Structure 1
């Protein structure tokens, strides 16, 4: 398989998945000298295989035509797929261009959830939230006292987040950081964050700190599954630097989501773009099976203690 696009959208999980299907994957990154790159990278490898799957990005039309001519000249069998279709069909995520001006034709519009989706999601949200609250009530009580002992101050942490249709709401969590955590301004949390007290670290690893968001579900701010709600200071930056970022606000955000279980911990624009690929796939291709799959994968993450 030959991919004529930036290789940033292929993660380790993607490569492992593709190597089960293809013998070799050739990534053609951006270059100002395509002729040299093709002659020294692609041509020698074409002799090894009889069939070639060319994944093209129309932005690099010249490069695509040169590869196609090389393949045909060698009487090889070639299959051509755009990177937009390839990502959704094989990698189960939506291709987000690196360039803010590049257009993904599969994203001319992203539908909001209609009744067919909203009703089953609402049933799942309410049912699981009630069961989860009753089953975890001892953890609420335990967390109340442990937080008070290790970090005097409020037990709950209220933070303004961006919800559906860009409306702001207060996300409720168990406080896992000291009271002076943001004295130097807003910042993404990170692994081994010095602002987090010991029990706070345990809560974040096991996702116990997320439990109070059940209240947000009852308030209709959140859904159980959906794009993770971000802070306004970050979404404003992402809207300016990541194509189609605002599409994720077409639906309610969630306590957990497709991006949360498919993409490892990360922060910043690079990781936000990768997560958006999964979020938009979830919105575009919602099914009850996908919803239940995310719930199951979330349980695997929690019990595997793969915290953020």
Structure 2
């Protein structure tokens, strides 16, 4: 699902599954800010149809004219409610009861965590998610096994990747004279800044016009730099940051101060990700395609908060394996 689709506000979207065996329909009363293509792939394996209801100035007309006829085909209805749309929640519920159908009701907060494996973030900074009202951070029972994983895995990675360090040093010098390593200020745990170390993949004048997000096929990247970015080789020097205790192997990706200031002001709960140590790779990195700006930062935060809230050794190892898959598939940037 692209950004144009999920921000459309003109009509109700009905998606039909070709594989689901159940005769159950899913109705989501507000979807603009949390669904992406991967999410729909999951849902269309579980439900025969998925009905997405956009913004409307006249919910009575929208729901009675477009949603009501669709309900006749199904005996089971799963309604995902959003507190911001109490009126349409009530209208849909009354439609289902009137048609004598079975209904299951789930809040958007629980639905995102239980079905999409991410945490729902409200549209506006002033709104809240009840499941995030308590402080999210890693307790000692989490910090200790993470530290063991960080040290052992990083030491192993350094030893097996040493030939790549030597190769990268030579290729960078050949293609772009200047420093081999690139240091960039990032925001870490408790909002403390540190300098993240990477192999330099861009020209020396890459930010002569100011800080900007990197993009796919970035013209500032030299040829071997592009290879390093897609294969994640440029991230290897961050092993040094792990030994300095700036980074963890797995965690929210650290952003630059110039960007986090904007995100803190515009994205609810964004500062929660600074209550844990950032990582070289993370749940958001393997679950969400590369993107830049507030829209993508908000989507990535949904995965980061899920990781923080639901941390387990199993999830940690899953992210490591998915990272290997991403690297081998050269899906990085």
| TM-score normalised per structure 1 | 0.99
Partner of 2:206 in structure 1?
181
Q: Secondary structure, in 3 states, of the residue corresponding to 1:18?
A: helix
For residue 62 of structure 1, the aligned residue among 87, 104, 107 is 87
Deviation at 1:40, TM superposition (A): 2.4
Deviation at 1:159, TM superposition (A): 0.2
Deviation at 1:109, TM superposition (A): 2.1
Partner of 1:145 in structure 2?
170
Q: Secondary structure, in 3 states, of the residue corresponding to 1:212?
A: helix
Q: Deviations over 1:252-287 (max 9, x none)?
A: 000000000000011010000000000000000000
Unpaired segments ≥5 residues, structure 1: none
| Distance in 2 (alpha carbons) for counterparts of 1:175 and 1:41 | 54
Residue 104 (1) aligns with residue 123 (2): no
For residue 157 of structure 1, the aligned residue among 157, 173, 182 is 182
**254-263 vs 11-20, which deviates more?**
11-20
| Distance in 2 (alpha carbons) for counterparts of 1:110 and 1:19 | 34
For 1:160-171, list aligned pairs within 5 A: 160-171=185-196
Q: Secondary structure, in 3 states, of the residue corresponding to 2:42?
A: helix
| Distance in 1 (alpha carbons) for counterparts of 2:224 and 2:129 | 44
Partner of 1:43 in structure 2?
68
**102-111 vs 203-212, which deviates more?**
102-111
| Distance in 1 (alpha carbons) for counterparts of 2:137 and 2:266 | 23
| Distance in 2 (alpha carbons) for counterparts of 1:103 and 1:114 | 23
Q: Secondary structure, in 3 states, of the residue corresponding to 1:55?
A: strand
**172-181 vs 111-120, which deviates more?**
111-120
Partner of 1:203 in structure 2?
228
Relative contact order, higher structure (CA 8 A, sep 6+): 1
The root-mean-square deviation of aligned C-alpha atoms, in Å, is 0.8
Partner of 1:212 in structure 2?
237
Q: Secondary structure, in 3 states, of the residue corresponding to 1:211?
A: helix
Partner of 1:113 in structure 2?
138
| Distance in 2 (alpha carbons) for counterparts of 1:103 and 1:61 | 16
Could you list the runs of 4 or more consecutive aligned residues of structure 1 that deviate by over 6 angstroms after TM superposition?
A: none
Partner of 1:228 in structure 2?
253
Residue 289 (1) aligns with residue 314 (2): yes
